[in-house]
Structure 1
Amino acid sequence: MIEPAELRKRLLALGFDVARFASIPARDDGGALPEVNALRKWLDAGYQADMHWIERGFAKRASPTLVLSEAGSVIMLGVNYFQGAAGASSDSQHPRWARYALYSDYHDTIKPALEKAGRVLEETLGITSADYRYYVDTGPVLERAWASRAGAGFAGKNAMLVSRDFGNWLFLAAIFVRAKIKADEPLPARSHCGKCTRCIDACPTGAIVSPGTVDSRLCISYQTIENKGAIPRGLRAKIGARIYGCDACAEACPWNRFAQASRGLLLEARPEIGQLSLGELLALTPESFAAHFRKTAIKRIKLAGLLRNACIVAGNTGARAAEHLPQLARLAAHESPLVRAHAVWAVQRIADGEQATRLLAEARNAEKDASVLDEHGAQP
């Protein structure tokens, strides 16, 4: 059994803020983690929405030895991304972004450190590159479950990992390794949330349907990032000024009183993103989108997705967004039906009936798409 002290020291020296270890049982038949059964129930309830890759990867998530045969340990690494007040406020001119979006894509900036971690493993454990496999939020790994088992934190009622040192603000990476490393102790088996329900109460859409269970179909993060189609009308007003993701349940957690500003050693802050005004976002072109969001996670939703979200924010800004009506009217004739539909909704939310009809008349007369025509005929 390998003692982890020196290995932990070297991993932390690479820029990680957390380095913890958990053992993979020799008999790994899917019951290694109690969270496996919870995941099965979550999938059966349809809470994954259309994130079908979670279902496809279920067997590997349940059994790490299907990811790496003879895997004996999991190394859980965490990177603190808390920036204090940055990204926490919003107004009619500056939409609200999830905190993690105000960085270059963490998948890209953390990966080089994982490559270095692999070399550390080879030197420290006497193994080869064939004896480990790493992921940063991209593979079939129950990261939060393994992080809990390794004592990096506990599963909060918001279904996030909550660290007693960093609050709700950790990126997680995992390394499966064919070696037996002495496991760290998990936190005591009790509810560290107690009777607190602040995260549940803070969710604008009621997406936390029970402690620790999130219905993605109601989640603003899912709707503004993972959902590639229209955002349901019944949820649009509840999105408020959130243009990409949502931190409501995380921000409400009392454990964040221990959060500390990120060292940023493995991250590249992009505060200028949070300074983009609503008007600038509504006016995005393929060229300006690429320029603003190159090498960020935001690029994943593509221009049409971000314009869709910007229209939602404009519609929720009400009369204060009247200055954006001409641009929204132009977006009602955008090449993407997704953008057109949400632009129509926004115009109808901001303008009175007669003004909205006048602004949308040309787009309405030219429209052929049934989903957009439905928006034209809908009540705001």
Structure 2
Amino acid sequence: MLADLAREEGFDAFGVAAPHSIPEAAPRLAQWIGEGAYGDMDWMPQTMERRSSPASLWPEVGAVAMLGLNYGPDEDPREVLAQRGRGAISVYARGDDYHELIKGKLKRIASRFVPRAGGDIKVFVDTAPLMEKPLAQAAGLGWQGKHTNLVARERGSWLLLGAIATTLPLPTDAPEIDHCGSCRACLDACPTAAFPAPYQLDARRCISYLTIEHKGPIPHQFREAMGNRIYGCDDCLAACPWNKFAALGREARLAARDENRAPPLAELARLDDAAFRVRFTKSPIKRTGRIRFLRNVLIAIGNSGTAALAPEVLRLLGDEHALIRGAAVWALSRLVDWEAFAELRALHLPVETDESVRAEWRTASGHA
């Protein structure tokens, strides 16, 4: 019954895992956290014990149904990387926020299932301390590839996950096995070498983490490698050979909005708080906020090599937020010659009070 309801809501994959089906996940998580690879995502160590198994999160759970929604793109997301004056937005973030979309679907399924079958239900979409990818593998939806993301034989890497936990002891599905073999295409595709080994991700080097979760300045060592990626990175996903079996996503609300397909960097640099909120209504980008988003846009402008964008950067040297001003300093140092940069430095440095921005001026002065 639950599988039928999932299909009616448009889900492309369904399977059921037992609550104790991922015993290897807890020690792997503990090792990852012990190595500090979670960066400044402080909720990871804080929720480690509850995250270790569904029963730790909800002791009454009898089974966990994992559901997958295909979001296969209609183009290779890496093509935009050559358009240096435009921004590259991760495929999943080009349409509506999948968190809200999938949660609504799961709630509708629950409202129809419980009156018929009984029991209690909880639904989860990414934000709860639940190990979705190991559970999805245990439920037979796919396997965690060497890039640590889920890969499905029928859909490649383009699958968004949701979970329905129930107190009922549902029949479980056979787990999927690993089909990566000797392939390392995803590892080699990473522009920042974020994979110290197969099946291991150092979030501190990951462009998706740096552009979305990281709250401070982008570390200098990764800025050039970011290119024009302004929200997330699809390189490791897009490189997977299993994508040859992927189909175009059917959910219209996840389809890319026209304004999120390679948007001009100059246009994005002009967004104030109100315009940012309007432009990214119902988008996951809105949750990151204008400050971090414009930080990313400025890094992309600095990497563009387009001196015509310098006026956009110069205007943002006066932004009220130090994170934006610091990124503007770096971008400007990449776009103008030494004489112009030195003159601008003399004009702006005496009024700068934030030490992190002053440090950017000093660093940029040595490389301008």
Paired residues of 1:207 and 1:219 also in contact (CA < 8 A): yes
**Quick one: which amino acid aligns to residue 33 of structure 2?**
L
Equivalent of 2:175, from 186, 202, 208?
A: 186
Match of 1:352 in 2: 337
Q: Tell me by how many angstroms 1:32 deviates.
A: 4.2
Match of 1:203 in 2: 190
Paired residues of 1:103 and 1:267 also in contact (CA < 8 A): yes
Q: Tell me by how many angstroms 1:193 deviates.
A: 0.7
Output one character per residue of 1:41-60: Cα deviation in whole Å (capped at 9) or x when no partner: 00000000111111111111
Match of 2:125 in 1: 136
Equivalent of 1:376, from 326, 339, 361?
A: 361
Equivalent of 1:310, from 289, 294, 297?
A: 297
Distance 2:287 2:362 in 1: 31
Distance 2:8 2:252 in 1: 10
User: Secondary structure of the residue that 2:196 maps to in structure 1?
Assistant: strand
Match of 1:167 in 2: 156
Equivalent of 1:154, from 135, 143, 146?
A: 143
Output one character per residue of 1:297-331: Cα deviation in whole Å (capped at 9) or x when no partner: 1012211111110110011111xx21111121111
Paired residues of 1:94 and 1:274 also in contact (CA < 8 A): no
Output one character per residue of 1:211-243: Cα deviation in whole Å (capped at 9) or x when no partner: 111101101011100011111111101101101
Equivalent of 1:59, from 49, 58, 64?
A: 49
Q: Tell me by how many angstroms 1:120 deviates.
A: 2.9
User: Secondary structure of the residue that 1:19 maps to in structure 2?
Assistant: strand
Q: Where does the alignment leave 5 or more consecutive residues of structure 2 unmatched?
A: none
Paired residues of 1:132 and 1:175 also in contact (CA < 8 A): yes
User: Secondary structure of the residue that 1:76 maps to in structure 2?
Assistant: strand
Equivalent of 2:87, from 86, 95, 102?
A: 95
Q: Tell me by how many angstroms 1:266 deviates.
A: 6.1
Q: Tell me by how many angstroms 1:62 deviates.
A: 1.1
TM-score by length of 1: 0.92
**Mapping of residues 1-380 of structure 1, within 5 Å:** 6-25=1-20, 32-85=22-75, 87-90=77-80, 91-127=83-119, 131-188=120-177, 191-264=178-251, 267=254, 269-318=256-305, 321-378=306-363, 379-380=366-367
Distance 2:205 2:335 in 1: 24
Q: Tell me by how many angstroms 1:271 deviates.
A: 3.1
Paired residues of 2:157 and 2:240 also in contact (CA < 8 A): yes
**Quick one: which amino acid aligns to residue 109 of structure 1?**
L
User: Secondary structure of the residue that 2:163 maps to in structure 1?
Assistant: strand
Instruction: Report runs of 4+ in structure 1 exceeding 3 Å deviation.
Output: 265-269
User: Secondary structure of the residue that 1:335 maps to in structure 2?
Assistant: coil
Paired residues of 2:16 and 2:64 also in contact (CA < 8 A): yes
Deviates more, 1:334-343 or 1:353-362: 353-362
User: Secondary structure of the residue that 1:33 maps to in structure 2?
Assistant: coil
TM-score by length of 2: 0.95
RMSD: 1.5
Distance 2:163 2:101 in 1: 15
Paired residues of 1:151 and 1:186 also in contact (CA < 8 A): yes
Aligned residues: 363
Paired residues of 2:77 and 2:238 also in contact (CA < 8 A): no
